[in-house]
Structure 1
Amino acid sequence: MQATATIQPLETERTANWWVVPEVLAFAALAFGSRLVFAQFAWAYSGPMSLLLTLVVLTLYLRARGVAWRDMGLIRLPGWRAKALVLPKALVPFALFAAAVALVMFVGEPMGLTRTDTAGVEERWGNVEGNLPMLLLWLGLVWTSAAFGEEMFFRGYMVTRLAAGLAGVPGRLAIAVLLPALIFGYGHYYYQGLFGLVMTGLIGLAFAISFLLLKRNLWPLVLVHGTIDTINFVALYLGEA
């Protein structure tokens, strides 16, 4: 299969297409590389800006191959029942998220994995405390860039693309969840350090596994991701974080 071939849905791939690995890495490089550019004039917002750019380019790339985001997990939810079921389904990513956090707290911290460098976090979000306009700004970014953007890119695109493209490869699902989780963790290293890389990497792994367990339905992940980040930012605003 050529690199320019139409991307097939996960269920219809039959042979391995190793081009998907450099393809996924190329889009990750676009996200990280553009973030370095945006950081020169808007460091605090360079992550959301670079992710937006990457999603625009990725959308055009997928559309040129006849693929829509509904094929990557943003499935249609017809009727109130389908929408209501998102809430109980969200218990799956929430439970695995809690397990990932607990693993770092009860296993990683006794082994010396602690948040020792908070300068990056303070520089990025230090002005949220007691500042309602900044809180509202970041909540807007939470639900657009983080909840939707990151889930679409790291889980919807990466996991689906790798799982489909590596059909027939032993351990393809393991690759499909581990590689995006590693990239997701690395994406947080620049301002959270090693602790952030491990923590967000494990959270990315939990969300990727949830994505497959939920038959590639992104909506429960978007809900959990947005809710958790909202709680964190409200805590920052109240000075409790």
Structure 2
Amino acid sequence: MNRQFKNTLRDRLGNYLESKKSATLMEVVLIFGVVFLFIQMVAPFFQGSQLAQQLIVWFANVIMIALVCFGQWLRRSNFRDLGLVLPVWSGKTYLKIILWSFLIGIITILSFVLGSVGMSMLMGATAQPDVSNYDYLKDNPGIFVLSLLGVYLVSSFGEELVYRGFLIHRVSLMLKGAKFEKTYAVLISAVIFGLAHYTWGITGMVQTSFMGLILGTFHVRFKNKLIVLILAHAYMDTLLLGSIYLS
């Protein structure tokens, strides 16, 4: 009886999320709101430690991933809806995935640079993102390797699942039937992705918005094949952390 009640409650909540655009909006606001509040409440206790600050952000990303998974569970939906699916093994298929991921990675890096150039033109000086929170990587090979592995999980994989897979899908549901719904979904997800990097300063937010715009566009172009974007994002993260470590 208890199990039946749980299943009934799950179905009721899932159906509510599926049928009401307002419920989908609340789901999105709840996920990002909870994570933002978590960071704001916990981070002040670790002001003196850059590594601790970064771990808090990573844990916040894990919370987002968990909440996205919970939403999918309530809906009885699999992750294919969010584009998370491995293609059937084929050497040709995986070679194509790798080549496309390199191309998208290069375009994404160029968009990141373009964001910096644009901000430099507006501000009249060389504009760079504030990545000083990563200074703990310098001359610390062990922490660098561990951080890289952590970033691959919570950033390369996690951010693509949340900001491209989940967010574009949910915004598209809310805009269903509207003209250019996918275009608006990509734009909105890119802006939110940029705002999520507020600790990088205004230049960093603009750069990551450009990055989100490119990745979101290809997400729609490839009909939700997230694996390509995850690899492209991983290349970008490797270059970013590597440049900080070597600086």
Same-fold status (TM-score > 0.5) = yes
Which residue of structure 1 lines up, in the alignment, with residue 140 of structure 2? 131
Which residue of structure 2 lines up, in the alignment, with residue 89 of structure 1? 100
**Matches of residues 1-241 of structure 1 in structure 2 within 5 Å?**
4-5=14-15, 17-39=21-43, 40-41=45-46, 42-81=52-91, 82-91=93-102, 93-112=104-123, 114-115=126-127, 118=130, 121-122=131-132, 124-189=133-198, 191-239=199-247
Counterparts of 1:220 and 1:18, CA distance in 2: 31
Distance 1:6 1:18, change over 3 A: closer
3-state SS of paired residue (1:126): helix
Residue identity in the other structure for 2:114: L
Unaligned 5+ runs, structure 2:
1-11, 47-51
Q: CA deviation at 1:215?
A: 0.8
Counterparts of 2:129 and 2:189, CA distance in 1: 24
For the pair shown, the structure with the greater C-alpha radius of gyration is 2
Counterparts of 2:41 and 2:88, CA distance in 1: 41
Counterparts of 1:66 and 1:16, CA distance in 2: 16
What are the Cα deviations for residues 34-55 of structure 1, in whole angstroms up to 9, with x where unaligned? 2223313432222111010121
Residue identity in the other structure for 2:112: V
Unaligned 5+ runs, structure 1:
9-14
Calculate the TM-score normalised by the size of structure 2: 0.82
3-state SS of paired residue (2:136): coil
Residue identity in the other structure for 1:219: I
Find runs of 4+ consecutive structure 1 residues off by over 6 angstroms: none
Q: CA deviation at 1:91?
A: 4.5
Greater fraction helix: 2
Counterparts of 1:132 and 1:144, CA distance in 2: 19
Aligned partners of 2:116 and 2:127 also within 8 Å: no
Aligned partners of 1:114 and 1:195 also within 8 Å: no
State percent identity of aligned pairs: 22
CA RMSD, aligned part only?
A: 2.4
Residue identity in the other structure for 1:152: L
Q: CA deviation at 1:70?
A: 2.3
Q: CA deviation at 1:95?
A: 4.8
Distance 1:177 1:89, change over 3 A: same
Aligned partners of 2:112 and 2:208 also within 8 Å: no
Distance 1:7 1:21, change over 3 A: closer
Residue identity in the other structure for 2:84: L
